[in-house]
Structure 1
Amino acid sequence: MMKALCDVHLSMRLVKFLAANGVEALHANSLPHKSESTDAELSAYADQHNCVVFTKDEDFRTSYLLRRVPRKLIHIRVTNGLRDNDLVALIGRHLAELKQLDSCESFYLEINAEQLTVIMAS
């Protein structure tokens, strides 16, 4: 079963959607330091528990490209504000593909309103 850790900048609506669709989903606010959790803490938790990090944060992208941390990363790249319902619909359209990628030891992908792009997978 795919496990997901959603960054603090993503809504609980996404977490609930993932959980309702067969993903063991957790929000950063569920961790001990809640919204004060650092990127390093989120990455460490994700790697320790084999979670995919869902984020809009560019810092995670940089961390993955330089150090492969966290091991599994979905970077949501939106230039304009994306309403929660639209984000959930976007993830929903690609959920089967995302679940397939979860079998990889490591991956980084970017998703935007138009497409899902796998940057690296191993």
Structure 2
Amino acid sequence: MHCFLVDTQLPPLLSELLNERGFDSKHTAADFPNGQFMNDRSILDIAIEENRIVITKDKDFKNNYLLQGAPPKVLFIQLGNSPNRELLSYFRKNLAHIKSLLDDGHYFITLGKDNIAAY
């Protein structure tokens, strides 16, 4: 089973959607005390300790992955400032594909408006 850690700048509704779809998901601001103030290193530490895939729009996680590699796995969202309903719709539409890429062993997946790229 894939477990996720949704970063603060994304809505808790995304974590709720993932939980509804049978995944184990936590949101930094909703599920951790003072999580909205959690720094990137703390998020990485939790992701590694709990074997969670970080879902983020924060370029620092992309840079960390490029410099350090995995773990943790990262879903890097590049959808601009999409309204929550569009973000959730995107995940509903693409979740099976994203899961398939994770199942195939990809560690860094970029989610764009026009494509999904896996590395």
* Normalised TM-score (structure 1): 0.88
Paired residue type of 1:39: D
Aligned to 1:45: 46
SS in 2 for 1:50: coil
Give me the whole-angstrom Cα distance separating, in 1, the residues matched to 2:19 and 2:38. 22
Structure 1 unaligned spans of 5+: none
Q: Provide the alpha-carbon RMSD of the alignment.
A: 1.6
Give the C-alpha shift of residue 101 in structure 1.
3.2
Q: Is the 8 A contact 2:70 2:107 kept in 1?
A: no
SS in 2 for 1:22: coil
Q: Is the 8 A contact 2:56 2:77 kept in 1?
A: yes
Paired residue type of 1:101: L
* Normalised TM-score (structure 2): 0.90
Deviations 1:47-81 (CA, angstroms, capped at 9, x unpaired): 111111000000000000000254200000123x2
Name whichever of 52-61 and 84-93 sits farther off. Answer: 84-93
Deviations 1:65-104 (CA, angstroms, capped at 9, x unpaired): 000254200000123x201011011112221122233346
Q: Is the 8 A contact 2:7 2:56 kept in 1?
A: yes
